[in-house]
Structure 1
Amino acid sequence: MFIKQILNNNVVSVVDEQGQELILTGRGLGFSASAGEQVNMAKIEKTFRLHDDKISARFKALADEIPLEILQLTDDIVALARSALPHKLSEGLYISLSDHLHYALQRSHDALTLHNPLQWEVRHFYQAEYGVGQQALALIAARTGTLLPDAEACSIALHIVNAGLSTTTAKTGQITQLIYQVQNIVKYWFRVKPDEESLNYQRFITHLKFFAQRVVEGEIVDNDDAELFAMVQQRYKKTVACVEAINDFVQKNYHHAMSQSEKLYLTVHIDNVIKRMTPADTGA
């Protein structure tokens, strides 16, 4: 592999035998090296293979500003996330997460703690991503000696969620908030306490994630389910009334009118989940 560009003493860009550009990190990897030379294979610690040219360019710019330790931590946390989650994660996670970790450690050094207002929602609705966030805190503590506050597990989880949804971080916050709002409408409507460990509840939350993403992105799904929805309206009248209340809420607050298909799918998921719920105090 030949060196294409030296980003700093510890990070270089190379071209492999297939002509693919890679970004390599390692202590002293770029020191006293020159473009066009063979890379010192013994010094390579991490390999970043980014297929998106724009993300690769941004990562190279960031690598010149962020310490080697943070870049390597980011790679290990991304590997944790990919092993724990069934869906693909955007390469942009390398950018957003390394930048976040850099400033989170700086804030910790300056004794500045920021509260994440979505911590409860993330812990309940993105349990797998939050678990990765907690593992990340342990990894960061082991590598840097700094134990970041638990709120950072939530922030790391949100970056991972965002990489899975392929949307902006701001919209991820809106999506998470809408999931919380809709499940609360269901809880108050039926005056029940959800069994958060049940498979039906997890399916319900998964459906809400994609529904909320469509609402926030302004997308509508309509599969011409009018006949099936008419049948559901007769069979699940109370659940359909709840869904109509949800429709009124998202129209007012998100300017999204639900299609019959959206109402149908949400009705089925809600009906499945309330069968497993138990009457309880509806306090949030």
Structure 2
Amino acid sequence: MRIRQILNNNVVSVCDGSGAEFILTGRGLGFNASVGDVVDERNVEKTFQLADSSVSARFKVLLNEVPVEIIQLTDDIVSLARQSLSRALSDVLYVSLADHLHFALQRHREGLAIQNPLEWEVRHLYRKEYLVGRQALALIASRTGQLLPDAEACSITLHIVNASMNVPDGQVMEMTRLIFQIQNIVKYWFAISIDEQSLNYQRFVTHIKFFAQRVMAGEILNNDDAELFEQMPKRYEKTLSCVQAISEFVSRNYNHTMSSSEKLYLTVHIGNVIHRQHNSI
């Protein structure tokens, strides 16, 4: 592979024989090198190939601002997340997470602690991703000697969730807030404590995650279910009242008018969650 661009002493952009671009990191890769030189692959420590050209451009800019050790650490955390979660993660995670870790470590060295306002919610709604976030803290400590606070595990979790949903930066926090608000309305309406380990609860949370994503994107799911929704069995009367309360809350706070399809599916999921814990749904 030949050098296409020298980003700094430790990072170069190269092209292979087919013209595909890769970003390589390694001690001294760019030192005394010239465009067109063949890279000594024995010195390559990490290889990145970002399919999205805009993400690749942002990553190149970041490489001039963030130490190569942070970039390599980021790659290891992304690999850990992909392996642990067995799901696709957007390449934007390399940019957002590397940038976050750079400043988180800098703040920690300066004795500045920032709390995540949704820490409790994140731990409960994204359990698998949060476990990765905790493992990431251990990895960061082993590489840098700095043990970041638990709040940083939540921040890393949100970056991972953001990359799995592929939504704009910052939107996941708003979605998390809405998901938890809907869950709490259900708890308050039926005056129950939900079994968060049950399969029905996991399905319910998955459903409202996608619902929250549509709300933030200004999208409405409509499968022409108005007639079916109107024919919901009488035994769902209390659940329907709860869904109506959720509909009014979402309309007032998020300017989203729930369709009959959204109300129908939410009614079914709520009914499945509480039917073993409450006699009147």
| Shorter-chain TM band | over 0.9
Partner of 2:204: 204
**Aligned AA for 2:73?**
L
Task: For 1:83 and 1:209, locate their aligned partners in 2 and report how far apart those are by CA, in whole Å.
Answer: 22
Matched residue of 1:23: which SS? strand
Partner of 2:74: 74
Matched residue of 2:31: which SS? coil
Q: Structure 1 residues 26, 266: closer, same or farther in 2, change over 3 A?
A: same
Q: Structure 1 residues 86, 266: closer, same or farther in 2, change over 3 A?
A: farther
Alignment of 1:101-120 (within 5 A): 101-120=101-120
Matched residue of 1:193: which SS? coil
Matched residue of 1:236: which SS? helix
Q: Structure 1 residues 277, 28: closer, same or farther in 2, change over 3 A?
A: farther
Name structure 2 gaps, 5 residues minimum: none
Query: Which stretch shifts more, 232-241 or 195-204?
Result: 232-241
**Aligned AA for 1:56?**
S
Percent identity of equivalent pairs: 64
Partner of 1:282: none
Whether contact under 8 Å (1:193, 1:278) holds in the other structure is: no
Name structure 1 gaps, 5 residues minimum: 280-284
What is the RMSD computed on CA atoms of the aligned residues? 1.3
Task: For 1:135 and 1:70, locate their aligned partners in 2 and report how far apart those are by CA, in whole Å.
Answer: 16
Alignment TM-score, normalising by the size of structure 2: 0.96
Cα distance, 1:170 vs. partner? 2.3
Partner of 1:225: 225
Task: For 2:71 and 2:131, locate their aligned partners in 1 and report how far apart those are by CA, in whole Å.
Answer: 21
Cα distance, 1:167 vs. partner? 1.5
Task: For 1:65 and 1:19, locate their aligned partners in 2 and report how far apart those are by CA, in whole Å.
Answer: 27
Whether contact under 8 Å (1:215, 1:256) holds in the other structure is: yes
Whether contact under 8 Å (1:201, 1:273) holds in the other structure is: yes
Cα displacement string for residues 75-103 of structure 1 (whole angstroms, at most 9, x for unaligned residues)? 01111111122432111111100000000
Task: For 2:121 and 2:91, locate their aligned partners in 1 and report how far apart those are by CA, in whole Å.
Answer: 25
Matched residue of 2:160: which SS? helix
Whether contact under 8 Å (1:24, 1:46) holds in the other structure is: yes
Cα distance, 1:231 vs. partner? 2.5
- How many residue pairs get aligned? The number is 279
**Aligned AA for 1:112?**
L
Partner of 2:153: 153
Partner of 2:251: 251
Matched residue of 2:12: which SS? strand
Query: Which stretch shifts more, 143-152 or 161-170?
Result: 161-170
Displacement over 6 Å in runs of 4+: none
Matched residue of 2:170: which SS? helix
**Aligned AA for 1:89?**
L
Task: For 1:150 and 1:169, locate their aligned partners in 2 and report how far apart those are by CA, in whole Å.
Answer: 21
Whether contact under 8 Å (1:194, 1:278) holds in the other structure is: no
